A and B are shown apart, each in its own frame.
Chain A
Amino acid sequence: MNLHAQPKLPASRLLLLRIALVAAVVLLVTGFWQLQVVRSDFYARLADKNYIRTLPLMAPRGSILDRHGELLVHHYASFSVILAREHVQEIRDVLPLLARGLSLDPVWLEQHLAKFADAPPFQPIVLKDEASMADIAFVEAHRLDLPELELILMYRRRYPLSQSGAHLLGYVGEASRKEIELHQVSLGAVVGKMGVEQQYNAHLLGTDGERRVIVDSRGKEVGKLSQKEPEAGRPLQLTLDAELQRAAEAAVQGRQGAVVALDPRHGDILAFVSHPTFDPNLFAVSVSADEWRALTDDPDKPLLNRVTQAQLSPGSVFKIFVATAALEGGFFDRNPNFRVTCPGWANHYGRVFRCWRPEGHGVVDLHRALVESCDVFFYQLGRQLGIDNISGYAQKLGLGRPTHIDLPGEKGGLVPSREWKQRTQKQPWWDGETISVAIGQGPLLVTPLQLAYAIGGIAAGGVFVQPHLLLDPQSDPEVRRVPLKPETVRILTDALWGVVNENGTGTAAQLPEIDLAGKTGTAQLVGSETLKRIGGRTERTLTENAWFVGFAPRRNPEIVVVVLLEHGLHGATAAPVAREVIKAYYDGKNRPPAGQVAGAPPPPAADSRQVD
C-alpha cells in the first residue's frame, strides 16, 4: 500500500471538528452553570421537597367538663388513611387495589381523587377516616408496594350528652378559608363551629406537631429527620351541671322549645336545653351533604339555639316588667288604691281587648293581677304608664339587648319604643299598641336567656349578673346594678310566689317545702282577630307559645329557670318543666357529692363560689 496514494485528511476540517467539539462542551458547561450555580437554590429546594415528607401529628382538643368535673366533651383516637402523593407516578394502576383493600367505592374514590387534581402534591389526601382494623392491616401489609399510603392518628370529638348539649357545646369541623385566617390554623385543621367549641376554640385548640421523615423515591420511609410533639389543648370547665341538664332534658320530653337554668347570684348557666336538636357526634368525623341539608332545611330549625337565638313575644311574663315600671316609677304611690274591674274584656282607643279569662277576674289589685295574670288590669296599667315608661324600664331591666353570654350568635330581642317605630317604620307610635305591649304582645321580642337574666336580676333586687358558661373562679362576672326599692322587690316576688302557691296560673310548678315563685306566659303568634278570621286553632304553627319563668327561693334566688314550649298552648303547660328542674336542683344540693360517699378525697372545689 502506498502512503502517498492516500490523500491526507484536510487539516481545516479537523480544526472545524475541534472548534465544534469545544463549542459543544462549552454549551454543556453553560447548562451545568445554569443549573448548579444560577438556579441551585431552586433545585436544592425541590430536592428537599422530594425526600422530606412532613406528616402532621394532630393535637387533641381540650376536654370540656361540667362544674363537678363530669366529662361533657372528650376525644378518642382514630386512624385515618391518607395518600401522600409526592411520589405517586401512576396512581390509576393501584386504584382497584386501594378500593378493594379499604372497602371504598371505586367510583367514589376516582371522583374523590379528581377533586385534588389541582391541589399541591404535598397536600395529603384523606382516603378514609375512622379506619377499621382491617383497613389498618391492609396499609401495614402493603408498606412495600403501596408506600404512599400512610396512617395518621386523628382525635375525634365525642359528646356523651349526645343531642342534649348540642347547642351549648356546639360541634367541630374542618376550618373554612375564613376560619383558617381567624384562628391562624393550617389547611384541614379542625376548629369549633358552634357553641362553646367555637367560643373557646383558642383555649381548646392544641398545637399540632409534625414529623419530618426521609422517604426514598418509592415513598418508603427510610429515616426520621425531626419530630415536633403536638401540644394538647387545655381542658375547659363549664358552669353547667350535667345532672341538672339531664333533668331539664327529661322534663322537656322532646317538645319544641328551650329551657335555661342559671344561678342569678353568679351568672352561672346550670342547664341549657334547646329542642329540636341534633347530634354533634355526627359532625365529629364529617357530616355528609345530605345530613347537613336535612338539618338546615328542617322547618323546625334544629340548628337554631332557642335559648339565645329564638326571639319571641314573652306574653304575660312581661307583666313583671310592667309592674316593676309602675312600682319603681311611683305609680302606686300616686294611685294607692289603683284597682281594675275585669269583666273579661276592655275597650281602649275604640278597640276591644280581651282578657285570657272570658268570664273576667272581677276587681283586682296588682297582686291578684299578677297571680291570676289578669290582662284587663295590665291594659289599664300600661295605658296609664305609657310606652316610654314601659320600654324604658324593660330596657333598664335587661331586655332589648344581648346579655353577652359567652356563646356566639346571641340575639338581642326587641323592646319597641316611639323612637324605634319612627326609625324603622317611619310612623308615629299608636297608643293602642301600648295596650298590646303591656301584656307582652305586639312587636316585643325576647330570648329565653334574656328573661332568665332579667327576672334573676329583678328578684335579686336589681343586681344583674352577666350569664356565662366558663367556670373561672379567678375572674368576677360582670355585674350591672339597677337599684330597685326593696318594697318593689317584696311586692313583686310575693306576687310571683302567689302565682305558684295561691291558686294562680302557675300552680303546676308547686313544690312542697320549696319557696318557689314564677310567672306563666302565653304568647299569641297571631292576633286573636286574625285567628278568628282563619277559624280555629287547628294549625300547629299558629298556636301559642307557652312560657314559664320560675325561681327559688323567692328572695335572692339561687336558681332561675326559664321554660319555653313552642306551640305549648298555655303557660301552665310549661310550669311543670320548671318545677322538675328546680326539684332536681334541690335534690342535687341535698345529695352529698359522689366523691365523699365513696370515701375518696373531696373533689376540687369547683362550686366553692356557691357559698357567698
Chain B
Amino acid sequence: MAARVRYREMDWLLFGLIVVICLIGILEIYSTTRSQPAFATMHLRQLTWLGVGLLAMLVVARIDYHTLLDQAPVIYLLTLAALVAVLLFAPKIFGARRWLMVAGITFQMSELAKWSIIIVLAKFLGELRTEAPSLKDLAKVAVLAGVPMVLIAAQPDLGTALTLVPIAATGVFLAGLRWKHAAALLALAALLLVVLVSLLQTKWVPLKPYQQSRLESFLHPRRSLQGAGYQTEQSKIAVGSGGFWGRGLGKGSQNQLGFIPVRHAEFIFAAFAEELGFAGVLLALGLYLTLLLRLLHNVETAPDRTGALLVAGVFSLLAFHLLVNVGMVIGLMPVTGIPLPLMSYGGSTTIATFMMLGLVMSVRMRRFVNL
C-alpha cells in the first residue's frame, strides 16, 4: 500500500479555486486595513499564513490518510489534552481563553480540534460494518464530538463548538443514518433549541453577557441597535450600499471609515460586498459553491469509505462556515466569531483550513491507488 503518489495527482481545480479565493481575501484584507496604521501590514501577515498553510496542506497531503486514521485515538487524546491545557493555561483575552502559545506562536487550539474531529469521526464511522449506524453508534458519535465541544464551549467559544455539529451530522447522514433516527434527532435538536431560547429569555441560564446580547439582538434586531445589533445593522448597510457594481475596492465608506465591525476577519465579506457589489458577491459565492461541489465530487471519487467520510467532514465544516458567516453578514444568522474560510484574516483558522484541505488532497491523490 506504500505505492508512490505524486503531487501531480492533486486536485488542481480545487487548488486553483483555493488560490483565487485566497487572493481575493488578501486584496480585501489590504483594503480594510490600509488606512489603519496599526494594521497596515496585515495583508502581508496573512500572506505569510497562506504560505505556512499551503506548506501544511502539502505535508498533510503527502501523508497517507490511513496513517492518520490509524493514529485517530492518539490524535483524539492529544486534542483533548490541548483543549484542557487551553482551559488551564491560556491567558484570558477579551474574556475568553482561546489562544495557547506553542513554540512562540499563539495558536487557537479549537481550530486544530476541528481537523482532529474530522479524522476521528471518519475513522469511527468508516469502520462501521452496518448499513446504518445504530443508536449505540450514534451515542458514541455524540460522545466523541460532545467532549471536545463542551471543552471548546467552556472557553467560552460557543460558535466554534457548534462547528463540530455539522461534521458529526454529515458523517452520520452519509454513513446511512436511518430517516426515523434523523427525524428524531432533528426533533430533539429543535426541542433543545426551543428550550434553550426560552430559557435564555428567562435569564436562568448563566449565559455570558456578550452571548446574551448577541442572541438578544438576533431575536429582536430592532430592540437593540447597539452592541451586536449595531454590528449587524452596519454590516447590512455596508452590503446594501454596495449596490450592484460596488463602490470600488478601497472606496467603501462603511469599510474605510470603520463602520463594519472586525472588517478584516469575521465581517470581511461585508467589506467585500460593499466595495465589489452584487457582481463581486456572485463571483465569490460562485467560487465557494464550485469549491464545495468539488469537495463532494471528491467524496464520490474517494478510494474508500473512510476517505470519503474525511472529505465529507471537511466539506461539511467549510460549508457550515460559509453559510453561517455569510448569513451573519446579511443578518440571516446571529453574530458569531465564525470566520469565512480562506478570506478572513487569521493564522490559526487559515492553517487549520489548509490542513483540512490537505486531508482532501491526500484522499484525492490516492484515488487510483489500489489499496
Contact = CB atoms under 8 A, between A and B. Distances in A.
Interface of A: 1, 3, 5-11, 13-14, 17-18, 21-22, 24-25, 27-29, 31-33, 35-37, 39-40, 42-44, 46-48, 50-51, 89-90, 214-218, 222
A47 B278 CA distance: 17
B129 A5 contact: yes
B213 interface: no
A31 B328 CA distance: 11
Nearest to A2: B371
Interface residues of B, number: 57
B236 A21 contact: no
* Nearest 5 pairs of A and B residues by beta carbon: A43-B240, A47-B241, A6-B305, A217-B258, A35-B240
A3 B259 contact: no
Contacts of B66: 1
A28 B285 contact: yes
A216 B258 contact: yes
Given A11-B300, A222-B257, A25 B285 contact: yes
A21 B124 CA distance: 25
Q: Determine which residue in A8, A9, A21 has the highest number of CB atoms from chain B within 10 A of its CB, and name it.
A: A9
Contacts of B327: 28, 31
B237 A43 contact: yes
Residue from B170, B306, B326 having most chain A Cβ neighbours under 10 A:
B326
A469 B62 CA distance: 99
Pick from B227, B241, B254, B299 the residue with the most CB of A within 10 Å. Answer: B241
Contacts of B312: 9, 17
6 contacts: A1-B371, A9-B305, A40-B240, A40-B243, A47-B237, A90-B226
Contacts of B230: 89
A367 to B, nearest CB: 86
Interface string B221-250: 000001100100010111111111000000
Given A10-B174, A11-B300, A47-B238, A36 B278 contact: yes
A5 B371 CA distance: 12
A35 B173 CA distance: 34
B243 A3 contact: no
Contacts of A24: 319, 323
A35 B327 CA distance: 12
Interface string B277-317: 11001100100110011001001100111101100100100
A50 B244 contact: no
B239 A43 contact: yes
B271 to A, nearest CB: 13
A22 B285 CA distance: 11
A144 to B, nearest CB: 14
B273 A36 contact: yes
B253 interface: yes
DSSP class of A's interface residues: helix, strand, loop or mixed?
helix
A3 B308 CA distance: 12
A13 B319 contact: no
B253 A51 contact: yes
B296 A217 contact: no
A14 B305 CA distance: 13
Given A17-B296, A32-B278, 4 more contacts: A21-B289, A25-B285, A28-B327, A42-B240
Contacts of A29: 281-282, 285
A42 B312 CA distance: 41
Nearest to A33: B278
A47 B273 CA distance: 14
B292 A21 contact: yes
B26 interface: no
Given A18-B296, A21-B293, A89-B230, A40 B241 contact: yes
A339 to B, nearest CB: 92
Interface in B255-271: 257-259
A407 B190 CA distance: 76
A18 B257 contact: no
A13 B174 contact: yes
Nearest to B253: A51
A50 B254 contact: yes
Contacts of A217: 234, 257-259
B16 interface: no
B176 interface: yes
Given A29-B281, A214-B257, A217-B259, A3 B273 contact: no
Contacts of B126: 6
A91 B5 CA distance: 63
Q: Which of B66, B257, B292 has the most CB of A within 10 A?
A: B257
